[in-house]
Every structure is written in C-alpha cells, then in structure tokens.
Structure 1
Amino acid sequence: MTTQSEKARQFQSYHASGDAFIIPNPWDIGSARLLALAGFKALATSSAGYAFSRGLPDNSIGREQMMVHLAEIAAATDLPVSADLENGFGDAPEEAAETIRQAAAVGVVGGSIEDATGRADEPIYPFDAAVERVRAAVEAARALPFPFTLTARAENYLNGRPDLDDTIRRLQAFQEAGADVLYAPGLKSREDIAAVVAALDRPVNVLMGLQGVLLGFDELRALGVRRVSVGGSLARAALGAFLRAAHEMRDHGTFTFTSEAASGNELNQMFTDAERMWGKPHGG
C-alpha cells in the first residue's frame, strides 16, 4: 500500500502540474473502489453523498462519525483522498484546526473548510471570522509531517447569495491566509468561473453536476480551472436510478430497470480485483 506521505506528495503534484484533473466523489467503500478501478487518480469525499447513504440529510453527520467514514475511504484504495470537512464542525477557528488534525490522523491527505455556518438566519460567516477559520486550518495543516492540501470554500452561491465580488474577495483573503486550493461551489457561467480564476494565483476547484450547468471538462480546463469535482451528484445519480426502479415496480409492476443495471458478475469480478489490489475493506 502507498503510504500517506506518498499519497500527499502525489496529490500535491497533481495541483502543481499545470494541467487540470477530475476528482470524483465516492460516498462509500464500494463507490471509492469502483472509481479507482475506473482510472481516476484522486478522490474527494462528499458530505451529502455519505449522509444520504446513512438515511440523513446533508450536514447531519457529526465529526466523530465523519472521521470513521474518512478512515474507510482513505483505506479503500491507494489513491489520495481529499475530505469534505464542511465548516470544520464548529464555529471557532480552533474547531476547524482540530478537524484538520483529526482528518489527517485517519488517513486523508487534503480537505476543505467552508465559510457556511449551517444556520438559516446567518448562512455565511462574517468575512473576518471566515478568514480566521481558514488561517487556523492552514496552520494546523502546515504542522503536519506531510503536505496536506488545504482547500478553502466560499459558499455564497450555494446559500442564495450569488455575489461574485464578495466571493472573489473571500477567496483572495483565503489565498492570503495560506489555502492551497480555492473553491466557490455553485458557479454556473463561463464568465463567473473565468473571473474567479483570473482573480487568484492558486489552483481553483469548480463543482460540476449541478442542474443546468453543461460545461465540459475541456471547456473548464481552457478557462484555467485546475480541479473539477462533482460533489454529491454521483450519489444522487445512483439514488435517482434506485428511485426510478422503485417507482416502476410500485406503479407499473414491471422490472425494465434491470436492463440498465450493472452486471452482478461484472461487479463481483471488479470487487474481487479490488480486494486483491487493496485487501479486504474494513468498516462499511
């Protein structure tokens, strides 16, 4: 198995290469192994995807349970894993720092801290507080014995505040605080994405998989985007197929959904191959 330090250096090199890459988001051990077998070179967890797999809405998983999940994903393959760490599971800068330390301790080599509070009355942290939280996370990351890739997220667009100027201001401040990657999930237009990329001098991650956003990887790469993730969309795609199958059985008593289902033999072979490569998975 590749060591955590080796994975960390690999992940760092992907961002420094000058080219873009897709980092898909598994939600459990099986989806992580299938994505690794498909040839992707790094993975990112999805708080939404994992919550759905537990029968919960997004942002309902506590830090202790999330660390169990991260440990499972990090151990599932030899790929570097970056963690969706939400807002660091607490308001105080030290909570964000502690979350980085705990995430590193369970095997991930990168992670994101966002400026969303999780509260409807005040969905985004005030500017100064948001910057202090990123700065604390960066300091915790730099104290680790390997290069932890810290992503800072500006969440305006996912919280009904499509303010490009404020989003760029926050990302620039997060960059100044030391974040390695900048990320504003919810950007939809070429113009907004290009403006964010032009305003920063560090790698920018862009979220695809939102409804109504049809930009392809080559278009994003041409805009200067360095990393593309898909958040909970893979989990939602799988659950969408599941719900369509359930509704077909309930409403029509038919089973045509099986024509598009993955082959049991194929999955058995793929997971057998995965076990040979990475061992028997723990947890799940």
Structure 2
Amino acid sequence: MSAAARFRELHHGRPQGDPLVLPGPWDAASARIFAEAGFPALATPSEGVSASLGHADGECPAEEMFAAVARIVRAVEVPVTADIERGYGMAPAEIAARLGEAGAVGCNLEDSASGTLVEAAAQADFLAAVREALGPEPFLNARVDVYVRGAEEPLKEALARGRAYVEAGADGVYPIMAPPEDLAVLARELPVPVNALARPGGPSPAALAAAGATRVTFGGTLAARVREGVRNLAAGLRAGRDL
C-alpha cells in the first residue's frame, strides 16, 4: 500500500472521540521526534516551516517550502501532508508535480489570498483542477477561512463552501478557528472528515474531537512553543545561569 493510501485510511473508520492527531514538524529533526513518539502521520505547517527558514508567515518562497517538505519526508517513514497555503500562484499541474517530487501524501489549500476570501465558485474550480492533477490518492484538504476573514454568517458560509469543495473533489474540509458548536454542525452535515485547529487558549484536542472533528492539527503553534523555549534558554545563558 502506498503512503498516500495509508494516510487516506487513517481518516476513516475512526471511533467517535478518537481523531487523527497530526503534529506539525517544521524541520527534519522535529519530524523524527514526532514520528518516534508514535504519531502515525505528520502535517507540516506553513507558518512553522516559514519561521524556521527565516520568513514571516505567507512570505516563504515556494522553492524553499517544497525543499523543506522534502527534507521532512525523507527524515521519517510515516506519511507527511503539507500546508502549501494557496499554492504560491502555481498552476494545478505544477502543484501536483511539486508535491509528488517532495514525497507529500496530500496538502492543505486555503481559500483566501492577501487576507481576503476568494469567491467560493472560483475556489471550487481551482480545487477541482488540483484534484484532477493530483489523481485519486493524495489527500486534498480544503481550508475554509470564513472564521478568520470576518464573514457575516460564518457557519452558513462554511457549510456552503464546504459542500462546494467536497463536490469539487476535496477529501476533507478544514474550517480553521471554527468554534466547537459550529464544528459539530459541520461534522454532521459534511460527508468528509473535518479538520480542527488546536491552539493555546482554545479548545483542547479532546474537546474538538467531542465536537466531531476527525482530524486535529496545530498550525505553527508547536514550533512557536519550541522557539519560546529557546528564547528562555538564551535569556538564561545571557544572565549567566546554568543549563
């Protein structure tokens, strides 16, 4: 069975309250640590990878992002899916080719650009073209940004976009920052796995699972926590404290 097929299977047949938890490695070393801890798959975060390469979120060149994903894939034996923002302006065929070259088993594609939601029909057309270029195995996770872009009726808009994206061929829907009560509706109404974001100060992975999330990811927060630890270490060294 291919890595992509294994990854796809991980999303299905899961008991209620047992989501697929996918830590977000930002480099090969962190990927190995998560894999050694027993996680069955990993999901690279664009923000964490960008920061590790010296870029602000959303400003990492595509070449550097795909090269980083490839290094992470090579470092572990578990499947790795990649957050590639909105595809860096690439045509669907190039997106598919770059993911294949990197060894990623799937990707996230978001539906906003420059801080603004893309029109839903245009995004659905884009996702359909990416689906065709990818072929049937890679997992296409459609991020829905209505909760972070100020939609007037975010749940209604998330449902409409989610249905359109599933019709276009998305394997999963990722309504980033949706509250648990809305996740419950989305999980009930959409016929695909729903991805939820776990973040500091927000609902726990267990709470997100109880709401109906099939998959839980962390964005760049794990990388940020490690950077904070390094910051504290540096401050202690500068102050002359022992390790």
TM-score, structure 1 as length reference:
0.79
- Residue 248 (structure 1) shift: 4.4
Q: What is the number of equivalent residue pairs in this alignment? A: 239
| Alignment partners' CA distance in 2, 1:27 and 1:114 | 19
- Residue 15 (structure 1) shift: 1.1
Aligned to 2:8: 12
Q: Where in structure 2 are the equivalents of 1:139-218 lying within 5 Å?
A: 139-142=132-135, 147-161=137-151, 163-187=154-178, 189-209=179-199, 211-217=200-206
The answer to whether structure 1 residue 255 and structure 2 residue 241 are counterparts is yes
| Alignment partners' CA distance in 2, 1:167 and 1:125 | 13
* Bigger Rg, structure 1 or 2: 1
| Alignment partners' CA distance in 1, 2:205 and 2:171 | 24
Structure 2 unaligned blocks of 5 or more = none
- Residue 72 (structure 1) shift: 0.6
The DSSP-based 3-state class of the residue aligned with 1:22 is strand
Aligned to 1:272: none
8 Å CA contact retained: 1:89, 1:96: no
Q: 2:230 aligns with which of 242, 250, 267?
A: 242
Aligned to 1:228: 216
- Could you say what the CA RMSD is over the residues aligned between the two structures, in angstroms? 1.8
| Alignment partners' CA distance in 1, 2:129 and 2:189 | 23
- Residue 135 (structure 1) shift: 1.0
* Structure 2 letter corresponding to 1:148: P
| Alignment partners' CA distance in 2, 1:89 and 1:182 | 20
Q: 1:104 aligns with which of 100, 106, 125?
A: 100
The DSSP-based 3-state class of the residue aligned with 1:112 is strand
After the TM superposition, which parts of structure 1 deviate over 6 Å for at least 4 consecutive aligned residues?
Answer: none
* Structure 1 letter corresponding to 2:96: I
Aligned to 1:59: 58
- Residue 214 (structure 1) shift: 2.8
* Structure 1 letter corresponding to 2:190: L
Q: Which moved more, 1:94-103 or 1:29-38?
A: 94-103
Q: Where in structure 2 are the equivalents of 1:30-41 lying within 5 Å?
A: 30-41=29-40
Aligned to 1:113: 109
| Alignment partners' CA distance in 1, 2:130 and 2:145 | 17
Q: Which has the larger share of helix?
A: 1
- Residue 254 (structure 1) shift: 4.5
Structure 1 unaligned blocks of 5 or more = 259-284
8 Å CA contact retained: 1:49, 1:236: yes
The DSSP-based 3-state class of the residue aligned with 1:140 is helix
| Alignment partners' CA distance in 2, 1:185 and 1:199 | 17
